[in-house]
A and B are shown apart, each in its own frame.
Chain A
C-alpha cells in the first residue's frame, strides 16, 4: 500500500522535522522547555481551586488525577488545532516539492507527543509524592496511548484536509474543542471509578447513570482519560471492548483521512 511506502520514505524527514521543531522552540527562549512543566502545573492549580474550593470536593491525589487528564487532552487538542492550518503553514514546502501531506500530521504528533511525555514526568513525580503504588496494570497505558495516537491521527488528517478549503474552520474547531474539554472529564470524573485493591478505592462520578457511561463510551477522549486513571490510580481494568471499538473507528478515520489527502493533495497547491 502506498501509505506504507511513503511512510518508509519520509519517516526520516518526519523524525528530523519534529526534532528540529522541538529544538527551535528550546532555542527560541531560555525557559521555553520549562513551560512544558509549568503549563500543566499552573493549570492544575486552577482546577484545584475550582474543584476543591468552589465545589468543595476532596479527592485523593488530585494532582495525579488532573495531570493524567490534562496532558492527554493537551496532546489531542493541540495536534488537532494545529492541523487546521497545517498545509498553509507549510506553504513554502508544499509549493516546491512533493510530500504526502499527512506526514505533517505525523510531525505534529511527534512534537506534541514528546511534550506529553515530558509533561507526564509530573505524573511520575506526583505519584511518588502521594505514594501511589505501581501495579502491573500500569502496563495498560501502552495500549491506551496507542489508541490515543490512532484516534488523534484520524481526526487530524480529516481536519487538515478540510482546513485547506474552509476558511473559518479554525473558529468551529476551537469551539468544539472547548466543549470537548468540558465533556472529557479533565478536572472531574465522569463515571464512578475505583476498586478495593486500588489506591483510589472509590471516586464518585459527577454524571448520573446511565449518562455517564454514554458520555464515556461515545467520547474517545473521555474514555482514554478515564481508563488511564483506572489503570494507574485504581488498579482497575480499562474498558477493553470500547478501546477495541475506538481502535477500529480510529483506523477507519485514518484510512478515510489518508485516502482523501491522496486524492486531493495536488489541488492544495492551487488553493493556498
Chain B
C-alpha cells in the first residue's frame, strides 16, 4: 500500500519566461544590424509553488493568459522552467486529448506506435493496447490510411483515444472536454471521468467551467497573472473566483 501523504507532483517556485526570441535573418543582420534590439522578456509564470498528493485531482482556474497552459506544458516537460523545479517523483505523464502530434504521411496505426513510443511505452505494451485504441477511436478501416486523409473529427478522436487508453500515472487535461461528434463526446467524457476518478491516478485539469471542476476536483488552484491568487477546496475557491470574474 502506498503512503497516503505521498506527493505525485511537487512544483516549487517555478518561473517561466518567454524570451521573445525573434527569428533572425543573416542577410538582414548584415544589411541592417541596428534594427535588432535585445530580446524582450515576458514572464508567464511568476513563482508558483504547489503540491499534488498521489491520486488527487487538482483543478486550475484563471482568466485567459494567466499562465495555466504554460504551467501545464512545463509539468508535461515540453519546456523546462527557467527557475524553480518540477518534480514528478518518477511518474509517467501525458497531456490528454491533444495527442502527441501525428506524422501526416503515416497511417493511423503507425502513428499510434509513434505516439506510444514517444510517451515512453514499450512496443509490447502498445501491441497489447492497440486494438483497444482502434476500437475506441471508431476509425475502422481508416486506421490503415495516412492521417492526412482524416477529417478533423477523426484526427481528434484518434488523438484522444491514444492518450486515454495508454494510461499514464499523471494526466494533464487542458480544457478540451469535448471531442468529435455528439456520440463520441459523450463516450469520451465518460472515459475521461473514469480515468480521472481512478484513485491511483493523479490529475491536473485546466478549465473555465466551474461546474466541471466542482464535480471532479479535490482542490483548486487559482492563477492570476502568473501568480497563485488562491488555493484550497472547491467550496472555498470557486465562489470567489466566479465573483471575481463577473
Contact = CB atoms under 8 A, between A and B. Distances in A.
B110 A20 contact: yes
Contact of B26 (A24, A91, A97, A168): A168
B153 interface: no
B24 A93 contact: no
Interface in A222-272: 266-267, 269-271
Contacts, number: 90
A28 B26 contact: no
Interface residues of A, number: 32
Contacts of B85: none
B117 interface: yes
Interface in A86-130: 90-99
Nearest to A19: B110
Nearest to A269: B79
Contact of B117 (A16, A24, A94, A95): A16
A9 interface: yes
Contact of A99 (B21, B95, B118): B118
Interface string A3-42: 0000001101100110011011000100000000000000
A271 B21 contact: yes
B150 interface: no
Contacts of B113: 16, 20
Contact of B100 (A16, A97, A266): A97
A142 interface: no
Interface in A144-199: 165-169, 172
A13 B27 contact: no
Contact of A271 (B23, B98, B101, B110): B23
A32 to B, nearest CB: 12
Nearest to B113: A16
Given A12-B122, A97-B101, A97-B118, A172 B21 contact: no
Contacts of B80: 266
Contacts of A169: 26
Contacts of B19: 267, 270
A95 B78 contact: yes
Given A93-B118, A270-B18, A166 B98 contact: no
Interface string A38-73: 000000000000000000000000000000000000
29 contacts: A16-B117, A20-B103, A21-B103, A21-B105, A21-B106, A23-B110, A24-B103, A24-B106, A24-B146, A90-B101, A91-B101, A94-B101, A95-B101, A96-B98, A97-B78, A97-B95, A97-B118, A97-B119, A98-B76, A165-B24, A167-B24, A168-B25, A172-B26, A266-B80, A267-B19, A267-B79, A269-B78, A270-B19, A270-B79
